[in-house]
Chains A and B, each alone.
Chain A
Amino acid sequence: MIFRRYNTSVLAVVALGLLLIYYYIRQPLILSPFGAKILANQGTTLALAALAQLVVVLTGGVDLSVGAVVSLSNCIAATYMGSHPASVIAVCVLTLAVGAGAGLVNGVLVAYGRIQPIIVTLATLYIFSGLALMVRPQPGGLVPPFYANALTGGWGYLPYAMVALFVMLFAVWTPLMRSRLGTAIRAVGDNPGGAHMSGINVPRTLILAYVMGGVFAAAAGLYLTAQTTSGDAAIGTSYTLNSVAAVVFGGALLGGGRGVAPGPVIAAYFLSIIISVLFAAGISPFYQSVFQGGILMVVLVFGNLWTLRTRNWLTILKN
């Protein structure tokens, strides 16, 4: 009964399982504390970005600015962090606040500006990546080793990346999505008119969803900063496509209303780890985008193969 809610995540779980088995056969070292750490570190940024995308997709929109917010927060964190623990914490909070602000801009424009989410986030994609480039015209910056260690290190078989992800998942995501806000977000995505009629404040819900998305995207940027220990205004670009791919692969419904966190998070690990598996299998890294785009397209087509079996095209049009 409890599993039925997570049915949509099965594809991602199976895919990740098969991938890890294949990887283990090729490279048994992954089953060591070191290997576990590497695997966990690889997917955490995308997992957080996927959660940022998921909350917006649940409202029925799409956030094309996720990648730009990841870049922006990466640049801010790497540029201003300093080396004193107090300043590190302050800059982390500041970065999350900037992410929230970016989400607020998107949300206000969608909710009160009444502009299509695609157009809003396509424009803010340029704005946020321009700001990132202003903060950090050249790649670089300073990240103290203890910050990188705290997020990318590990304790035995327990990578700190998993701890960070679980904190975001169970201390932030789950309580919020189980609250009235979470219900409202799903309701707005499913049927905005109906949600309005049921007394839900649609604009406020949309704004809070985009703010939440901005915070998760900034968290992804913070994690990325620990991973790369530098700032780069162009580093986040691929996270827009890959976060959408993870959300789709993880079984969320584009158009809104349906989707649970485990699917996209696991799909994010799949999409990140498959790159190193391909590398291990001797395939040129140039194929990375081919696989990322290709996987998204194949998953999309498989999800909609039923359209080929339909006798009456009209039933499809009416959907």
Chain B
Amino acid sequence: MDNLLARRLSDFTRHGVAVAYALLALLVIAAFVYDPGLASWRWIHAQLQIAAFIGIIAIGQTMVILIGQIDLSVPWNLTFSALVMATLSSDGYSVWLAMGAALLCGLVIGAINAVGVAVFRLHSLVWTLGMNALLQGASLVYTNAQPPKSDVPAVVREMAVGNIFGIPAAALIWALLAVFTVVVLRRSRFGRYLYAIGNNETALFVSGVDSRKVVLGAFMVSGFGAALAGILLTGYASQTYLGMGNDYLLIPIAAVIIGGTNVMGGSGGYVGTIAGALIVVILQSLLSTAQIGQAGKDVVFGVIILALVLLYAREARPTD
């Protein structure tokens, strides 16, 4: 019975990834048909650039969702870390130190998230929601609601909007991290343990693995990704501002789910998430091309996410 269930689940996952890439291909074709002017390197270049920010956040979010949790602290973790970097660099510290401090910030926030989930056994949904509010307040207090008006360091700008051989640097960073993530998820012990926790944490614990450390790892990756995205977005927008992370809650989660990762954890992976990230970015670009305002965009986007989830990420019938 369990075997059958496992087989069905793994079929479903592969199916989900295939669906995600098919959807991506369809979407690209639809975009080019809708507006032939889009079929240019410039458009693809812009999509890759924005997808990189979402994809980097979605690395940690994929891992956290694989263990059956969720990280809702991304928006203000991103903002807070970016603010730390901006204030340090405008206070005259070196860029590398400032970036290091921001990334450390993200790691610590991720670790606190993990302690609540792994040690106190709290539901990550409410714990990270509380963390998000705490960081929102902390950002206001830290900056006195006046974001630093510093010049963004050249290195940060280069990382976010620079090009290497015509390819956005941010997308190359994303590609490197993506390859690393896929290898870690598929080949490393940590990766296997992530899936194991999502399926049955007790079984993993009984076989001698301290599952708490695995949870710690997943949330720290998520915190690190949020901080890194904060740094890159600072370079992209040439400024840090309060609320810069607000758009980065639903979208990376949507990328993970569209990519075929099971919301309850245990199956899926980053290969699908890559397609998911590209899908959400192209959808957003199309909505912008169609001249739909922010409000309409939010509505259409929410509806599309729900439609896609309905299409292929439904749960089993609870009463079976």
Contacts and interface: CB of A to CB of B under 8 A. Distances in A.
B284 to A, nearest CB: 12
Interface string A195-220: 01000001000000000000000000
A95 interface: no
A137 to B, nearest CB: 7
A241 to B, nearest CB: 5
Interface stretch (B14-22, B26-34, B182-190, B311-319): B311-319
Contact of A293 (B136, B249, B301): B136
Interface in A248-291: 248, 254-255, 284, 286-291
B145 A286 contact: yes
A123 B201 contact: no
A109 B306 contact: yes
B84 interface: no
A119 B257 CA distance: 9
A115 B137 contact: no
Nearest to B134: A293
A131 B298 CA distance: 8
A290 B116 contact: no
A289 B297 contact: no
A123 B302 contact: yes
A141 to B, nearest CB: 16
Nearest to B297: A130
Nearest to A295: B130
Interface stretch (B118-126, B219-227, B275-283): B118-126
Dominant secondary structure of chain A at its interface with chain B: helix
Interface residues of B, number: 56
A116 B126 contact: no
Looking at B123, B303, B318, the one whose CB has the most chain A CB atoms below 10 A away is B318
Nearest to B138: A290
Given A114-B317, A297-B116, A314-B205, A289 B302 contact: no
Interface in B176-229: 201-202, 205-206, 211
B115 to A, nearest CB: 9
A313 B121 CA distance: 11
Nearest to B127: A300
B70 interface: yes
A98 to B, nearest CB: 14
Contacts of B1: none
The 3 closest A-B pairs by CB, nearest first: A293-B133, A290-B137, A289-B137
Interface of B: 70, 116, 119-123, 125-127, 129-138, 140-141, 144-145, 201-202, 205-206, 211, 249-250, 253-254, 257, 263-264, 294-299, 301-303, 305-306, 309-310, 313-319
Given A300-B127, A313-B205, 19 more contacts: A113-B314, A116-B315, A120-B306, A126-B299, A127-B302, A130-B295, A134-B295, A134-B296, A193-B318, A240-B129, A244-B129, A290-B133, A294-B137, A296-B133, A297-B134, A300-B120, A301-B116, A316-B121, A317-B201
Interface of A: 62, 109, 113-116, 118-120, 122-127, 129-134, 137, 192-193, 196, 202, 233, 240-241, 244-245, 248, 254-255, 284, 286-294, 296-297, 300-301, 304-305, 307-308, 313-314, 316-319
